[in-house]
Copies of this chain bind each other. A is one copy, B any other.
């Protein structure tokens, strides 16, 4: 098996830090990005790949599986040819929205800052 957040997953809660609990779900650089891209609605697998060019399809698959296992997203398979698979946020997943918006907002400001400061 190939787990992105190996043995940390369920131990996080016990340390008393709720932040770790969140990170045990959103841990890994791609999960927040994937969830973020799912905020507007259902997205096809390939579209997610295009939206996340720095990650390989393999990684995206793995991360999506973990998010699914944690009840953050739902996987919708259309029994057609050619195959079509969409992903969408669950109700639980949608509760992450404020976090993702914060992340995007801060990231945008950080990018600006670096655009002005460094190269």
**How many of chain A's residues have a CB under 8 angstroms from any CB in B?**
44
Query: Which residue from chain B places its CB closest to the CB of A37 in the assembled complex?
Result: B17
Tell me whether A29 and B20 are in contact in the complex, defined as CB-CB below 8 angstroms, given that A54-B11, A95-B106 are known contacts.
Answer: yes
Contact digits for A73-100, partner B, Cβ 8 Å, 1 yes 0 no: 0000000000000000000100110111
Judging by beta carbons under 8 Å apart, are A54 and B104 in contact? no
Residue in B19, B24, B98, B100 whose beta carbon sits within 8 Å of that of A19 in the complex: B100
A22 on the B face (CB < 8 A): yes
Residue in B19, B29, B54 whose beta carbon sits within 8 Å of that of A33 in the complex: B19
Which residues of the partner chain B approach A27 to less than 8 Å between Cβ atoms?
29
A60 on the B face (CB < 8 A): no
